[in-house]
Structure 1
């Protein structure tokens, strides 16, 4: 198989490239030149947001293109139109954010969607991803377009900072504010599992939308954070706090304590997706301990500081804020 990866030097795109190379596929990476692509690929340089930025893609043909773009849908539109006659299938890594808010618990792929347009410029994330879906489908047709609606993505090369923040914080040791309950399940997908499923799907000729996160019950907050303690070898003591305690202390779910959401509307939307369609077509999710261990190994290999996407704000509690919340919980006898 001949793969054209739009991006391919960071996180999800890199996972797709490495998975394809591992299968012996011929891989071409179109990127801006800001990061070194994996060895063994054909590298094409261009900026899809610039005038004539797609010039490097003016010739060539591939079996499949994979695109992770999350900004202006017009960039997906332009690339898809350019490639439609020279590429067999288009796999667009979208997001479960395309579902109209609030996304009901157990929502499947036929849930209501946000509005979007392939011609949009800078729009909010949900509308951008929906516009990207529409752009790819308009150019390639529904039978040649695969829409990978990912949820929370973790794993090596993460440049959003969620799991790296937990690993770095727990490695520092001491009492760690842990959002409960321990048994609260969380849905995510390891970027490498997303990559393998996506490549399997395009090779099998699958099309249409698929929710792509782990099945319900795959992991809990307790299992995730316990794995962080084990792999870092720190003396960290997890100080579990109930959702109402954290909310009363003004802690912001998801941003100040990454991954975690208290039970309720946001939790239902993020951590209870129906993924039966993806599971039926071969989605396999590695154990949470493996994702944590491999992310820690990668984090250490880059000096302990993960790269940060410039379009995403840093996540996690500051040491001062965490200490304040822990002191308040202790003073209240919780």
Structure 2
């Protein structure tokens, strides 16, 4: 298989490129040159936001392209049009954020989505991803695979969710642990996403698939305790009611990554129906493996995770944590 990876040097793109190489595929990475591509991959340079930035893709043929773009949908449109006739299948890594809020309980890919346009410039995240989907569909139709990922964790993470929790546990001491402690979490290990996506390419799957673990694959308690276990830290989880956390002005998802209090947002992000992907072969590794491998990767790069410049820095400030812990 000849795979063209748009991106391929960080997090999701890198995991997919490495999985392709592990399968013995011919992998070409199209990137801006800011980071080294995986060893063994071919390299093409370009910037999709610049005039003439796709010139390096004007020649060449591939069996599939995987696109992780989360900027203006018009960039997906232009790339898909350029590659039409030279790439058999277009895989767009989208997001479950494309569903209208709140997503009705029990629905999966048939739930109503937000409006979007392939001609859009910079818009909000949900409309951006929907516009990217439409751009791929407009050109490739049934040959477009839409991977609607949920919360993504694992090695190479440059968003700051699991790395923040690991780093916080490594500091030790009392840790503000957001309840309910047995609340189930849905996420996808980036390597499981990569495996499923390339399996889907081989099987010529098309259309939308929600890609995240089954509900309750892990819990908040198991995730945080595993972070303590793998770091070997002397951290003490101080479980705190959601109401107290919210009253303190702490923001779910950003100040305390991956955590949401009970309610419609929690139901939408951690209680999703993923039966379609499971029937299509999705397998999710244990949370212990995801956490341990992410910690090993963090240690291998000096303990500080990379940070995407277009995303906010996540995590609770120590002084705020101490304030809430002290008021118990």
TM-score by length of 2: 0.99
DSSP 3-state at the match of 1:65: strand
Matches within 5 A, 1:85-234: 85-141=85-141, 143-234=142-233
**Cα distance in 2 for residues equivalent to 1:98 and 1:298:** 31
Q: Answer whether contact 1:27 1:41 (CA < 8 A) is retained.
A: yes
Matches within 5 A, 1:292-307: 292-307=291-306
Q: Answer whether contact 1:80 1:136 (CA < 8 A) is retained.
A: yes
**Cα distance in 1 for residues equivalent to 2:194 and 2:238:** 35
Offset, 1:192:
0.4
The residue number in structure 1 matching 2:61 is: 61
**Cα distance in 1 for residues equivalent to 2:19 and 2:267:** 31
**Cα distance in 1 for residues equivalent to 2:217 and 2:101:** 24
Offset, 1:3:
0.2
Q: Answer whether contact 1:189 1:213 (CA < 8 A) is retained.
A: yes
Offset, 1:72:
0.1
DSSP 3-state at the match of 1:225: helix
Offset, 1:105:
2.9
Offset, 1:248:
2.1
**Cα distance in 2 for residues equivalent to 1:134 and 1:49:** 19
In the alignment, structure 1 segments of 5+ residues that lack a partner are 330-334
The residue number in structure 1 matching 2:240 is: 241
DSSP 3-state at the match of 2:48: coil
Offset, 1:104:
2.6
**Cα distance in 2 for residues equivalent to 1:107 and 1:18:** 33
The residue number in structure 1 matching 2:32 is: 32
TM-score by length of 1: 0.97
Offset, 1:101:
1.5
**Cα distance in 2 for residues equivalent to 1:318 and 1:106:** 36
**Cα distance in 2 for residues equivalent to 1:305 and 1:159:** 10
**Residues 182-212 of structure 1, C-alpha deviation per residue, up to 9 Å, x if partnerless?**
1100100001000000000011011000000
The residue number in structure 2 matching 1:7 is: 7
Q: Answer whether contact 1:149 1:209 (CA < 8 A) is retained.
A: yes
Alignment of 1:291 onto 2:290: yes
Q: Answer whether contact 1:136 1:145 (CA < 8 A) is retained.
A: yes
The residue number in structure 2 matching 1:277 is: 276
DSSP 3-state at the match of 1:291: helix
Offset, 1:244:
1.6
Q: Answer whether contact 1:106 1:268 (CA < 8 A) is retained.
A: no
**Cα distance in 1 for residues equivalent to 2:250 and 2:43:** 44
The residue number in structure 1 matching 2:250 is: 251
The residue number in structure 2 matching 1:332 is: none
Q: Indicate the RMSD between aligned Cα atoms, in angstroms.
A: 0.7
Comparing 241-250 with 289-298, greater Cα deviation is found at 241-250
Runs of 4 or more off by more than 4 Å in structure 1? none
Q: Answer whether contact 1:176 1:238 (CA < 8 A) is retained.
A: yes
Offset, 1:249:
2.1
